[in-house]
Amino acid sequence: MPKMKTHSGAKKRLKITASGKIKWKKCGLRHLLTPMSASKGRKLRKPKIIESSSTIAKSLKTRLPYI
């Protein structure tokens, strides 16, 4: 059976932690920041982390078979 290809967009944006959770940077901090409230900007700074048991995590892990 041939090797599976890793999804190029996923490998640039997602990281898998040592415990198996998926982590990525939230969007919305590049431009048009003046009208944004400071509290929203602080919330967007933290990375998004998804538990490894969720259905979204399972579908994302299929895109990263060897990472």
pLDDT digits (tens, 9 = 90+) for 6-59: 999 999 999 999 998 999 999 999 999 999 999 999 999 999 999 988 899 999
Give the per-residue pLDDT at 33: 95
- The pLDDT, as a whole number, for residue 27 is 94
Whole-number pLDDT of residue 2: 92
Are 23 and 14 contacting, i.e. CB atoms less than 8 angstroms apart? yes
Q: Is 59 exposed, middle or buried (0-12, 13-18, 19+ CB in 10 A)?
A: exposed
Considering the four listed CATH numbers 3.40.220.10, 1.10.3720.10, 3.40.50.720, 4.10.410.60, the one that applies to the domain covering 1-29+41-67 is 4.10.410.60
Determine contact, residues 21/50, Cβ cutoff 8 Å: yes
pTM across the whole model:
0.77
